[in-house]
Chain A
Amino acid sequence: MRRGERPLLALPRPLLVAFVLLLGCQLIYHHYGLRGFDASYRGLTRPFSAAAYRGIAMGSEQLMGYLLALRLQLHDNQAGRHFRYRLIDYDILVDWLDRITEVSDGTEYPMLLASRIYSSTSDRDQLRRMLVFIERRFDDAPQLHWRRLAEASLLAKHRLDDLELALRLAEKLARQPASVRMPQWARDFHFLLLADLNELESAIAIIDAMLQSGSVNDPDEKRFLQEKLSAFRQKLFESRQTTPG
């Protein structure tokens, strides 16, 4: 059985007034709170100097570098929303990546962010900036960063359609001394891209040099190179046949 209720007007007046006042306050607060909630994108601020971050790290520079990298990685997620990379100022982003590299010496994280995360932008200029960053920072530690340079070369070829840049990056990779250990396929990019550019003679010369230098010991790799050599020679022969003079 439902318990009977007294009419609202029978309640003490101060209680009713307080209820109306508090309800009003809550509505006003919520209204202004919503207006104050800024869901628009807030850009990156410029980083401090590497020396300042090293000082703040209190002896834990490597950890500081990684925490800064994670903070940067999360920058495109703001107020529960994911913002497009196009909105990010890539000049400042490159400053951040440089700073993290300087703070956390020998880290792979900034290069990884550049090649895997920030390269997924749809803006070609921004992508180019990332590839230039990878090319510049590769020399700091070729052994650590050869994968990133190989990825950058592929991005330049397939995403930017810039074979010149792709070739430059692949050549840099191929010219690394034998002391920089990397799989042979990473060095092979160079002649494959040369063939794509129709520089068949150069590609053939490189494969010839590789086979004759004895630096390739893997039988599968040797077979692959010989197949490519035959294919490129055939292609060159055919192109000479079709080209008059």
Chain B
Amino acid sequence: MLAQTISLFRYLMLGIMSRRLLLLMAILSLVAVLCASFIGELAIINGEAIVVAFVADFLRYSSALLALLMIATGVAEDYQSRQFERLLTMPLARWQYIAAQTLAIACLCLLLVVPALILIALYGDAGLGFYWAASLWLELFLISLLGLLAILSLEKIPQAVFFSLAVYLLAKLSGLIVLMLDESVRLSEGSATSRVVEFIFSAVLYVIPGSNTFARNDVFFENVDLLAALSSQLFSVTLYALFLLAVCLIDFYRKEFNL
């Protein structure tokens, strides 16, 4: 059973690698370095920290988008080429496909954090590079699982990528949205509509990743206990990733395939 899952994982990884992943990563790293160097030239003080922080954030968001596209494209191709139907005629359980995808996501994220690790270690501090690589891996893993859930459910690449990005940005911008809703309640003098919207959003916040599931960019400017930050992130990501995997399994087991 394990051997089958590993074979499936290898097949999925080959699919990911065939999409010019390494070339895309090299281009993104180059763009990150060029933009960051320009910004660093402008800075009067703390230029090095600004460069490292910019590279880290640039690679974070571009890698997240790249991971989402890779995962969504892979699963969408499986739907299109009726791969699931073929797989299910073999002695293979549905959970094994999800397990293989999870392993492929873990490896993809590992590949994606390598440029960040190298660049941050080169421009800044190796310790910070390792922290950022580990922290970014956790963040990318979570976003990719979200992408997997989205593509399994929605079956179309644009919808899946849009949904995953929406959830990601909603989680990232939750502070700003809460602020806007608070202001809206205040300006409307506590109208019922504003309060309902505020209540709905506060309920939505319970099912989207919290702010501590993401890598902390402030570590490049402040003295932060990296181990404590990473432990807290690991706990929240593990919890949310298991929740996402459970939803993926439920959704995948409910799907009807014409065998």
Contacts and interface: CB of A to CB of B under 8 A. Distances in A.
Most buried by A among B39, B57, B169, B221: B221
Contacts of B216: 59
Given A52-B176, A59-B172, A70 B57 contact: no
Contacts, number: 67
A108 interface: yes
Interface stretch (B45-53, B153-161, B198-206, B249-257): B45-53
Interface string B196-224: 00000000000000010010111011100
B112 to A, nearest CB: 19
A74 B53 contact: no
Contacts of B218: 59-62
B64 to A, nearest CB: 11
Interface residues of B, number: 25
A112 B216 CA distance: 26
A66 B42 CA distance: 11
A55 B45 contact: no
Please report whether the interface of chain B is mostly helix, strand, loop or mixed according to DSSP.
helix
A60 B57 contact: yes
Contacts of B175: 51, 54-55
A73 B42 CA distance: 9
B43 interface: yes
Most buried by B among A52, A54, A58, A108: A58
A112 B50 contact: no
B63 to A, nearest CB: 15
A138 B43 CA distance: 22
Contacts of B192: none
19 contacts: A52-B179, A54-B176, A55-B177, A56-B173, A58-B172, A59-B214, A61-B218, A62-B53, A62-B217, A62-B220, A62-B222, A63-B50, A63-B54, A63-B57, A67-B39, A73-B44, A107-B46, A108-B45, A116-B44
Interface of A: 51-52, 54-56, 58-63, 66-67, 70, 73-74, 104, 106-109, 112-113, 116-117
